[in-house]
Amino acid sequence: MLKKYLLLFLIPTIGLYLMTVQAEPIKTPPQAAIASAHPLATEAGKQILLQGGNAFDAAVAVTAALVVVEPYSSGLGGGGFWLIRDAGKNKTIMLDGRETALAKATQDMYLDSTGNYIPNSSVNGPLAAGIPGTVAAIVHLSEQYGVLPLEQFLQPAIHYAEQGFSVTEHYQKMAQFRLSVLQSYPESTRIFLHNNQVPEIGYKIVQTDLAKTLKQIARTGGKDFYQGFTAIKMVNAVKKTKGIWQLDDLKNYRLKERQPITFAYRDMQIISAAPPSSGGIALAGILQILQNYNLQSMKQAQQVHLTVEAMRRAYRDRAEYLGDSDFVKVPVKRLTHPFYAQGLAAGIRLDKATPSDSLSGIIKAPEGQDTTHFSIIDT
């Protein structure tokens, strides 16, 4: 059987991810495997595996490396979900390390005096920042599931931060996308731009302050980030820009372990993310709609048509029913039941696309491209 498997979904936006367990036992793989969005992050995980670490140790190394080399999709100031599987213990858990709201947050904090939304106030600036969960997650992974010391697998990230990483075309694209925001803050300009503009390919992005923070996390097991000098510096910096962070917001942050979503698709068992992520529920809806059709007997165009129709309905349900499960009731059993999917499939026509605006709950809004995923499996 597979010994360990871990998949990460850092989630400033919404996406789908899954872990499959075949009906028949899987033979032990000949070697470990890592897939991430950046070669330096993949290399960081590889180093840890070669040093005797397990998949969870490597996950911490990859997470920390992505914090450094993929600042447009990852960060110590963000959060995510880590779906982990330890086959030796027959244990599957989802770590919920998403950001949490501030104690002083209010329902009208993004509205002006006339009750209208202040453009971009919920995505840019100090009021847009929640309390980070990434640090709590990597410490928890290290302490509860890893075998090597935290300091050891933060070393690759610290090295990348101190020595710098090279700008790529993708970095240029993402920096250009957020250029005006980066130019609005002197420190962002100093770190992520060159001469106040998008850096040229090959330019080194050096983050010495981030390296110091990572060293503090390694030295204190994350305590400094939530209760020490680093916490004080963050709160003071946020308050200077009219933010509402308090030290207790950081001190009171708690990571949560949740039971993943599990459902069947044909002859496979799928294990995926539970709320407050929408990924597992959306995936269940899509696949359970599609299993009502013999896709292999169809031409490619019809396969694509049915996949789009299934996704259209799953994403409608996401908009209609999904929310923070700690505060609203999400009908998980209904949305992941095959009978419900059969009902959704009944409204699909094989000869005609369904207009999205004909489905209730659809909100036309641009989707970002700032989510990262990685997968690790050890032998």
Enzyme catalytic residues: 371
Rounded-to-integer distance, Cα 334 and Cα 338, Å? 9
Rounded-to-integer distance, Cα 76 and Cα 131, Å? 10
User: Interhelix angle for 150-163 vs 55-69, to 10°?
Assistant: 20
Assess contact for 292 and 280: CB atoms under 8 A.
Answer: no
Q: What are phi and psi of 82, to 5 degrees?
A: -120, 110
Q: Decide: residue 366, CB within 10 A, 0-12 exposed, 13-18 middle, 19+ buried.
A: exposed
Rounded-to-integer distance, Cα 106 and Cα 167, Å? 39
Give me the sign of the Cα torsion angle 104, 108, 114, 117.
Answer: positive
Give the contacts of 136 (CB within 8 A, at least 6 positions apart).
97, 222, 226, 253, 254, 255
Rounded-to-integer distance, Cα 34 and Cα 37, Å? 10
* Tokens 């050096």 belong to residue: 206
Residue 343: Cβ within 10 Å count: 12
Record the tokens describing residue 271, joined without a space.
């294990």
| Separation in Å, CA 146 to CA 57, 280, 289, 324, 354 | 5, 25, 38, 29, 48
Sequence length of the chain is 379
